[in-house]
Structure 1
Amino acid sequence: MDKPNLEILLIDDHPLLRKGLAQLINEEEGLFVTGEAGSGQDGVQLALTLEPDLILLDLNMKGMDGLETLKILRAEGVDSRVVVLTVSEHREDVARMFRAGADGYLLKDMEPEELLIRIKESASGRLVVDDRLAEVLASILRPVQEEKDPLEVLTSKEHEVLNLVAEGLANKMIARQLAISEGTVKVHVKRLLKKLGVRSRVEAAILVVKQHSEES
């Protein structure tokens, strides 16, 4: 049975901000904060235990920062959508987080109502980026788009999986669509990312979008 609410994990080392976010999110129908972590280490453990649908991750944390936390999450096979929520507008930070596997990058000074909208958009499979950073993201991902035909290295099954990834489907839904196990989907995703030379589902999806636009 599908979960009635979108389960969200908060990873941020500021207790007051976490409590405020949790209250804001829990008051919104269909959203539920399933856990809170005050450090990257605790966040990784909770992500592995709770398997949330979405993780809101702070970038500048004491000890293990958001970048290292994200890398460990992806290395551990956590396929929850991860949206960075930070104060940093630096191009290098945006680039590093997306290349490490982030699905979104939002700024903490955005309006609360806008944050809730972006959370829901991310959960539906969309890439969410603060409007002020849209041009930055485009310039970061442009080199990836210059590959001649990177998808030809994939098997037919990997193509099927990749197309569903590009539609924003989580591994569980891809498994249902293709009538294979979720574990098998994870293996396919890991292999196709390696073959394509990209580090995140977002970068892989961009390649699919580019190919479709060229074919149309």
Structure 2
Amino acid sequence: MKTIFLAESERHVRDALRLLLEQQTELTITGEARSAESLLAQVCQHPPDLILLDWNLPGLHPQRLIPTLRECCPSAQLIALSVKPEDETGAKAYGVDGFVSKQLQAEELLACLQTICLKSQP
């Protein structure tokens, strides 16, 4: 079972992700944050397997946030979420493991997450 952490600034998006992911028996949500500070405070103490990261999460620019997450959660997969497809290039340049559009339907989102998770398995 994979543990997952939701870092999303918009409550309605966070709620929708939680509802969707709670239905997946192979995933356990370990926490939620709406800011970079809250995210770091929680995941550095209890690193999850996967972090769904709002690309526009307030509090810390991704250029600084991604390396900090890599330092405190070296084995966690980082999946960037954004409504803007053009953010994918920057997200991958900063070192995320995957990028998912917030505009995807639920089934497409789950398929993307599964593909990204499978790529990281030995």
Q: In 1, are the aligned partners of 2:47 and 2:73 still within 8 Å (CA)?
A: no
Whether 1:42 and 2:63 are equivalent positions in the alignment is no
1:64-143, aligned counterparts within 5 Å?
64-90=60-86, 93-125=87-119
1:19–1:7 Cα change, 3 Å: same
What is the CA–CA distance in structure 2 between the aligned matches of 1:75 and 1:49, rounded to whole Å? Answer: 12
Following superposition, the deviation at residue 67 of structure 1 comes to: 4.2
Answering whether residue 58 of structure 2 is matched by residue 62 of structure 1, we say yes
Q: Does 1:22 align with 2:18?
A: yes
- Structure 1 Cα separation of the partners of residues 84 and 104 of structure 2: 13
Q: Distance in 2 between matches of 1:120 and 1:89?
A: 19
Work out whether residues 57 and 66 of structure 1, in 8 Å CA contact, stay in contact via their aligned partners in 2: no
Return the alpha-carbon distance in structure 2 between the equivalents of residues 43 and 13 of structure 1: 11
C-alpha spacing 1:77/1:10, structure 2 compared with 1 (3 Å): closer
Distance in 1 of aligned mates of 2:18 and 2:59: 23
Structure number with the higher strand fraction is 2
| TM-score, normalising length: structure 2 | 0.87
Query: Any gaps of 5 or more consecutive residues in structure 1?
Result: 127-167, 170-216
What's the CA shift for 1:84? Answer: 0.5
Per-residue CA distance 1:99-136 (angstroms, 9 max, x = gap): 2220001100101011112212222225xxxxxxxxxx
User: Counterparts of 1:41 and 1:100 in 2: how far apart (Å)?
Assistant: 19
The answer to whether the 8 Å contact 1:35/1:46 transfers is yes
Matched residue count: 122
Higher helix proportion (structure 1 or 2): 1
Partner SS, residue 51 of structure 2: strand
Rounded Cα–Cα distance in structure 2 between residues aligned with 1:116 and 1:94: 18
Aligned to 1:51: 47
Distance (Å, rounded) in 2 between the aligned partners of 1:27 and 1:119: 14
- Of structures 1 and 2, the one scoring higher in RCO (CA 8 A, sep 6+) is 2
For 1:77 and 1:32, the matched residues in 2 are separated by 17
Judging changes above 3 Å, is the alpha-carbon distance between structure 1 residues 67 and 33 closer, same or farther for their aligned structure 2 residues?
farther
CA distance in 2 between counterparts of 1:45 and 1:12 reads 15
* RMSD between aligned residues: 1.8
Give the superposition deviation at 1:71. Answer: 2.5
Cα distance in structure 2, aligned partners of 1:117 and 1:89: 17
CA distance in 1: counterparts of 2:74 and 2:99, whole angstroms: 18
Q: Residue 60 of structure 2 aligns to a residue in which SS?
A: coil
Secondary structure, in 3 states, of the residue corresponding to 1:102?
coil
Q: Which runs of 5+ in 2 are unaligned?
A: none
